[in-house]
Structure 1
Amino acid sequence: MREVSFIKQNKEKWLSFERAVFNNDFEDPDELASQYIHLINDLAYAQTYYPKSKVIIYLNQLAAKAFQKIYKTKREDTNRIFAFWKTEIPLICYQYRKFIYVAFILFFIFTAIGVISAANNAEFLRSILGDGYVDQTIENIEAGNPMAIYGSGSNWGSFIEISIHNMKVGAMAFIFGVTLGILTIWVMFENFIMLGSFQYFFYEKDVFWESVRGIWIHGAMEIFAIVIQASAGLILGASILFPGTHSRYTSFKKGAKTGIKILISSYPFMFSAGFLEGFVTRYSNVMPNWLSIGIILTTLSIISYYYLVYPFKVQKKITQPQILNLHIPLEKL
């Protein structure tokens, strides 16, 4: 067989395998291993019949990368947890970034609805938060400490209770994705309408700034994490609605696996938010502005970078070694 015919015959197979290897776009390791064997056979054939061909360099590099993916060393296994947050989650977030964007759009819409509703209906906030909570907050505002409600209970007790509550909200946002994402959107609707109306309430009472420098000490990470968790639910719902070339069940399993990983990745941020709410927010009234704003900007920057910026950096780093970018394009072999 002529070399040109050999390349033409196998080109699509190699490119497909390359995408799977470099983008982690494979579900069954056994299937990847089987394709790897075919690749090795092609490499052996090329070495035999085209010993001076550049296609050997291409297949060699692709085979080496595939080998690392399939046959992981013990050292890699011990670093599995580290790699999960360093590489796997960022790549997932890059691949499913549109779902994260949609979740943020819904966040802004629902929060705005909460603001508008509270501005046009004085009883709206009470219908959501309850008379007791609202009356207590009004008393705190009149006493000169709008954030006093966050100072109730012990530090550790508040931290544990808040963290458990946040984990439940996140789990619900994800699990409810099985309703085709409808109840996931409802969870977002409830929480973010509450947020918008609550913030407007403080604005109306002329303590908006005090509420911002208090609530958002923990809220920056907490709210952001809820949005990320909701995006996991949307991914799960979409896997059922749009199975693509997979069977609906296979697509669902893939969506569930992906969503669980995103959910797990958000929990450290949720715990951090719970810690801040239990140990730091309660002191916001005596905290200098520079410190409270510094905490808010720092926490928001960390979680924003991890989910919105870092995935692009990891994706770029992963794709750079591809042979197609190393001046040996397959099209020119």
Structure 2
Amino acid sequence: MREVAFIKQNKDKWLGFETAIFNNNFNNPDELASQYIQVINDLAYAQTFYPKSKVIVYLNQLAAKGFQKIYKTKREDTHRILSFWKTEVPLLVHQYRKYIYIAFAIFILFTFIGVISAANDAEFVRSILGDQYVNMTLENIENGDPVAVYKSGSNWGGFIGITVNNLKVGIIAFILGVFGGIGTVYILFKNCIMLGSFQYFFYEKDVFWESVRGIWIHGSMEIFAIVIEAAAGLILGASILFPNTHSRMTSFKQGAKTGVKILISTFPFTFSAGFLEGFVTRYSNSMPNWLSVSIILFTLGLISFYYLVYPFKVYRKAQLSILNPAF
């Protein structure tokens, strides 16, 4: 059979399955499993006779979405909270990974702009951070403790205040994605410009390393989480701008649902960052270099693994189940 004929023959069936998945419009799990197997068979056929066709990519994605839906109906999926972080979120992250890559590209670009701006304008840092904060930091540097600001207040007070603020930033970054992603980009812009100029300020004052070993103890997970939250906002915005084969409202609902799940997945990392800032960062100057570096590498490695490596592992496992379905 020619590829065009193959697509024409099965197109309505695929679109029907895709629409049913988006709208949760299945009467029972058996119906879902039956249609899923048909998609798997079509995928195997396409891989055999049209190995270079784009239809394979489409059917792969459709099969992965079907797998996610079926996974939720499996009897062993009683530990809903565990499966959310262990399977559901990683599969979503893999499916929408391009938005995470875009968010990181925007993060790097805007942070670099912050650095360049601070390097070429002596007053730029003050315009971004404010005279009071800059003067306080200059005083801390003169006193030999550049990150003394993180030692003010109580441990619990700092932890709660910082965590609430970071959660608010992440939630706002996601919600503003409703404006076609522009609001999300703006939030990312503000935070990245601040980060870039702030770090250059320490570099200019010859205390860059002291700032790194202090700020990034909690900043690795805090900043990374904000980037992921921004990606969730971009997903929301894209669902409105690019509905594809769905109605705009259906696409928006799916984008909002997906974005909320990815947003929620960052909360444990945000809480962890707040804990580190409230209870650990304040001791950065007194701890040995190897310990502060170890904490930074561990926290950065943990969140990087979860969002950049682990989703591929879960997806490959899902692919094995797709190629060898057992119901």
TM-score (norm 2): 0.82
1:27 equivalenced with 2:22 (yes/no): yes
Q: How far, CA to CA, are the matches of 1:38 and 1:151 in structure 2?
A: 56
5+ residue gaps, structure 2: 1-5, 39-66
SS at match of 2:292: helix
Q: How far, CA to CA, are the matches of 1:38 and 1:222 in structure 2?
A: 40
Q: How far, CA to CA, are the matches of 1:156 and 1:252 in structure 2?
A: 39
1:142 — aligned with what? Answer: 142
How far residue 29 of structure 1 moved from its aligned partner, in angstroms, is 3.4
Q: How far, CA to CA, are the matches of 2:316 and 2:33 in structure 1?
A: 28
Distance 1:148 1:319, change over 3 A: same
How far residue 28 of structure 1 moved from its aligned partner, in angstroms, is 3.3
1:126 — aligned with what? Answer: 126
Distance 1:285 1:248, change over 3 A: same
Q: How far, CA to CA, are the matches of 1:9 and 1:289 in structure 2?
A: 60
Q: How far, CA to CA, are the matches of 1:215 and 1:195 in structure 2?
A: 11
The percentage of aligned residue pairs carrying the same residue is 62
TM-score (norm 1): 0.81
Distance 1:33 1:284, change over 3 A: same
Q: CA RMSD in A?
A: 2.9
Q: How far, CA to CA, are the matches of 2:300 and 2:72 in structure 1?
A: 37
Distance 1:67 1:239, change over 3 A: closer
Contact 2:33/2:70 (<8 A) preserved? no
Q: How far, CA to CA, are the matches of 1:315 and 1:76 in structure 2?
A: 17
Q: How far, CA to CA, are the matches of 2:29 and 2:136 in structure 1?
A: 65
1:170 — aligned with what? Answer: 170
Q: How far, CA to CA, are the matches of 2:294 and 2:32 in structure 1?
A: 54
Letter in 1 for 2:77: E
2:77 — aligned with what? Answer: 76
Letter in 2 for 1:76: D
How far residue 30 of structure 1 moved from its aligned partner, in angstroms, is 3.2
1:183 equivalenced with 2:178 (yes/no): no
How far residue 36 of structure 1 moved from its aligned partner, in angstroms, is 1.5
Q: How far, CA to CA, are the matches of 1:66 and 1:204 in structure 2?
A: 50
Q: How many residues align?
A: 290
Contact 2:111/2:195 (<8 A) preserved? yes
Deviations 1:121-140 (A, max 9, x none): 11111111111100000000
Distance 1:66 1:268, change over 3 A: closer
How far residue 27 of structure 1 moved from its aligned partner, in angstroms, is 2.4
Give the ranges of 4+ consecutive aligned residues of structure 1 lying more than 6 Å apart after TM superposition: 8-11
1:160 — aligned with what? Answer: 160
